[in-house]
Amino acid sequence: MNEHMRMTLPERISGLGELAYNMWWSWHPEARNLFRRLDRLLWKNTAHNPVRLLTEIPYHQLVACAEDANYLTSYDTTMDEYRKDLFSNPTWFKTRYPEHGDKLMAYFSLEFALHNSLPLYAGGLGVLAGDYCKAASDLGIPLVGVGFMYPQGYFHQHISEDGWQTEVYEQLGYDKVAVSRVLDGEGKRLTISVPLDSVHIKVAAWVLNVGRVKLYLLDTNLDENPQSYRGLTARLYGGDRELRLLQELVIGIGGVRILRALGLKPAVWHANEGHTTFMLVERLREFIEADMTLDKALKSVAETSVFTTHTPLPAGNDTFAPDIIDKYFHAYWGQLGITREQFFDFGTSQQDRGTFNMTILGLKLAGYRNGVSKLHGDVCRRMWHDLWPEKPEAEVPIISITNGVHLPTWTAPQIQMLFRRFLGDDWEEHQAERERWDRINDIPDEVIWNIHRWLKLKLIGAILDRARDRWSRDHVAAIQPLAMGALLDPEVLTIGFSRRFTGYKRASLVFKNIERLKNILTNEMQPVQIIFAGKAHPQDEDGKRLIQQVYRYAKDSEFGGRVAFVEDYDMHMARDLVAGVDVWLNTPLTLMEASGTSGQKASANGAVNLSILDGWWFEGYNGDNGWAVDERGRIDSMDRDSVTADAIYGLLEDRVIPLYYDRDINGTPHDWVELMKESIRSNAPHFNTSRMAGEYVERCYLKALEYASANHLE
């Protein structure tokens, strides 16, 4: 029996249970509004979680809604749209590629960000994976996802009075989120076995519906397992290197085995980042066990596998010492019919034979490899040239498919109303068509400006709510709500800087010249305010010190309350930020930002990017849709940070601030609004997951599908 059947709902609105257990509601405002209208306060207090809402709401309120004609009209319309979308409407994939309509693609990722009520993500990698699953559902790509069910998820962030980050973990109630146990044919919990050294541990799964896509989340917290292994899937990115290896071993080997136990036969296998690439090794073992020669097995894996690498940072490319690989794989390479040296060759380069590298494993075993922006593709080909020393760097077989964002998730409902009005009700189905986005220019300046002002008020209201709750609930020092944004002003030019706090992202760069920045922020006639948000990895002491530095500036009265640090950055706050700020600031070290997607979200809402010319912005900037700082000639300069900070200050003083405050008699900044429209018009049609997923299909999946069909590998 499905979990949602346990809910006691009036028959007339019983479909709410089905809807609550499909994340489709998370990117359809009309579906969210159905739940919100049941009880607005409870909706807020349950973190916009419909499963919790329906299990906690008094039954008489449900009965009242079931007898409300206006509510029932919205309910019937939304449920009809939901069922048509999932079960009857023609899809892009089936319409264009009917011969592959019954094939399946498997997508492995260590984290998935679908909604803030499911904390199965840490940052950009998870957001990308979640957005990708939603786009696959929209396009009808027959995708199945594999990840982890983290009962403690990623951490909640508290900032102490002195600015130090503290991690707070909360236990997730499985009965309060939209997941269901995966059962076998006898109604018992389905489990598979994964070898860990001398122990075979059991792995179960939860299933999460993401529109048409099913996401299987692995779980080792089972009574059958030794206590030391039950916590393997407890937290995202917690523990030491050995725990990380075990997690990657479980998702790679266990993920394949779960799909097999379910009777699923993917024709294409996609590893999202090196964390999941043991999946390729397990598939190799399967082929060899089926009496395929090693060469044929390697070719079969390569021709049906896609590997996406997301970062040039060493910390993002997991490596393991030989002794730990020996410990857990000493019996495994015998099953592959190869020697230890051959196995290690899968994950090592000629330049470094001393560590086993998961990115190298993906690059060597997968036949389709890509970076996540044009610049990142160049970086990857240079970075991994030694794996193909016989080829010129430009011919290293790593392509680039630039990341995008799921526009229905990340554009505010009010912005989507504009899209429907001016682009057409079917804008989502045509979001990759540039010509349609030219209609953005038809929006009256006053209309889009007033919507933006409302979204800005909403953002600052949400920040004030967080600051007030922290002060009243936890009795923090009075200075802390001020540092958290209690003095923010909705009439002031607002810059947003929100992302993971780590060294290469240079969160403190804008503070390079303190006095000049103070003059900019506290100008009485044309003031500016900056909102910071983001978490540091629990083990990243340098990242925590960056937060501390910014927090101290936020507490400094000489900045006049014009600097704020918002605690506990999550998807909910991210949606408010990208829709409510005026300018999105990004200052990574050049060639270190593989893609970045937060600026894409902001631009789709009409915010204007001011960024280092790196990652996606290298492709997105056209000279008329924001501002760019080009560091490429100063990469090794000793004064690079000072020069770059000065360039940012100059842009703010000479161009950004005067343009923002140049208003007509009614308070509309027409030239600024023109910039907002161009930000949307030029970026939205390309930097979206609809285009991105279609590109994966056309450049990778179709070739893999054809090989799988020709060689009967489904």
**What would the pLDDT profile of 242-269 be if each residue is shown by its tens digit?**
999 999 999 999 999 999 999 999 999 9
Tokens 């051959």 sit on residue:
342
> What's phi and psi for 109, nearest 5 deg?
-150, 145
Q: Which two tokens stand for residue 466?
A: 């967080």
Residues 633-661 pLDDT 10s? 765 666 889 999 999 999 999 999 999 99
What pLDDT is stored for residue 152 in this prediction? 84
Tokens 């994950």 sit on residue:
347
> How many whole angstroms separate alpha carbon 472 and alpha carbon 207?
38
**Residue 305 · residue 283 · CB < 8 Å:** yes
Identity of residue 434: R
Q: Which two tokens stand for residue 63?
A: 């009965």
Residues 78-97 pLDDT 10s? 999 999 999 998 999 999 99
What CA–CA distances, in Å, run from 675 to 414, 528, 681, 711? Answer: 19, 18, 10, 52
- Mutual orientation of helices 322-329 and 241-249 as an angle, nearest 10°? 40
- Going by the DSSP 8-state scheme, the letter that residue 440 receives in this structure is G
Q: Which two tokens stand for residue 470?
A: 């922290």
- Residues composing the chain: 714
Q: Domain boundaries in the chain?
A: 9-88, 96-403+694-710, 409-687
Strand partners, 530: 495, 563
Q: What is 409-687's CATH number? A: 3.40.50.2000
Query: Quick one: how far is CA 54 from the chain centroid?
Result: 27
Res 6 pLDDT > 60? no
- Going by the DSSP 8-state scheme, the letter that residue 40 receives in this structure is H
**Same fold? 96-403+694-710, 409-687:** yes
**Residue 374 · residue 400 · CB < 8 Å:** yes
Task: Report the percentage of the chain scoring pLDDT > 90.
Answer: 88
Q: Residue range 507-531: average pLDDT?
A: 97
* Burial per residue of 314-345, b for 16 or more beta-carbon CB atoms within 10 angstroms, e otherwise: eeebbbbeeeebeebbeebbeebebeeeebbe
> How many whole angstroms separate alpha carbon 554 and alpha carbon 550?
6
Q: Residue range 58-67: average pLDDT?
A: 97
- Range list of H helices, 514-597: 514-521, 541-555, 571-580
What pLDDT is stored for residue 122 in this prediction? 85
Res 140 pLDDT > 80? yes
**Residue 494 · residue 584 · CB < 8 Å:** no
Res 191 pLDDT > 90? yes
Identity of residue 411: T
pTM of the shown model: 0.96
Residues 6+ apart with CB under 8 A from 362: 271, 274, 277, 280, 307, 309, 369
Tell me if residue 622 falls in helix, strand or coil.
coil
**What's the whole-number average pLDDT of the chain?**
94
What pLDDT is stored for residue 313 in this prediction? 78
> How many whole angstroms separate alpha carbon 587 and alpha carbon 599?
11
Tell me if residue 153 falls in helix, strand or coil.
strand
| CA-only gyration radius of the chain, Å | 25
Handedness of CA 651, 580, 120, 615 (dihedral sign): negative
Dihedral of the CA atoms 632, 637, 642, 644 (nearest 10)?
Answer: 0
> How many whole angstroms separate alpha carbon 149 and alpha carbon 110?
10
Tell me whether residue 659 is exposed, middle or buried, using C-beta atoms within 10 angstroms of its C-beta: 0 to 12, 13 to 18, 19 or more. Answer: middle
**Listed residue (86, 202, 211, 81) closest to 144, CA to CA:** 211
Q: What is 96-403+694-710's CATH number? A: 3.40.50.2000
Identity of residue 192: I
What CA–CA distances, in Å, run from 168 to 154, 238, 482, 558? Answer: 9, 13, 22, 31
What pLDDT is stored for residue 400 in this prediction? 98
What pLDDT is stored for residue 1 in this prediction? 35
Q: Residue range 437-466: average pLDDT?
A: 97
Strand partners, 206: 181, 217
Q: Which strand (E) or helix (H) includes residue 206? A: strand 199-210
> How many whole angstroms separate alpha carbon 252 and alpha carbon 271?
9
Task: Report the percentage of the chain scoring pLDDT > 70.
Answer: 98
Give the DSSP per-residue string, 293-335. Answer: -HHHHHHHHHHTEEEE----SGGGS-EE-HHHHHHHHTTHHHH
Tokens 């930002």 sit on residue:
593
Res 409 pLDDT > 70? yes
What pLDDT is stored for residue 4 in this prediction? 47
Identity of residue 154: Y
Q: Residue range 62-75: average pLDDT?
A: 98
Edge-to-edge strand list for the sheet holding 528-533: 563-566, 528-533, 493-498, 583-586, 608-612, 626-629
Res 2 pLDDT > 60? no
**Listed residue (445, 439, 484) closest to 465, CA to CA:** 484
Cα-Cα end-to-end distance for the chain: 30
- Reported as half-sphere exposure (CB side, CA atoms, 13 A), residue 92 has a value of 19
**Listed residue (203, 127, 206) closest to 692, CA to CA:** 127
**Residue 209 · residue 137 · CB < 8 Å:** no
> How many whole angstroms separate alpha carbon 55 and alpha carbon 492?
42
What pLDDT is stored for residue 194 in this prediction? 95
What CA–CA distances, in Å, run from 310 to 116, 275, 324, 459, 615? Answer: 23, 11, 25, 30, 11
Residues 311-355 pLDDT 10s? 887 767 899 999 999 999 998 888 899 999 999 999 998 888 889
Tell me whether residue 421 is exposed, middle or buried, using C-beta atoms within 10 angstroms of its C-beta: 0 to 12, 13 to 18, 19 or more. Answer: middle
Res 613 pLDDT > 50? yes
Per DSSP (E only), the strands in 499-640 are 528-533, 563-566, 583-586, 608-612, 626-629
> How many whole angstroms separate alpha carbon 606 and alpha carbon 710?
47
Tell me whether residue 41 is exposed, middle or buried, using C-beta atoms within 10 angstroms of its C-beta: 0 to 12, 13 to 18, 19 or more. Answer: exposed
Tell me if residue 282 falls in helix, strand or coil.
helix
Identity of residue 623: G
Handedness of CA 333, 338, 341, 346 (dihedral sign): negative
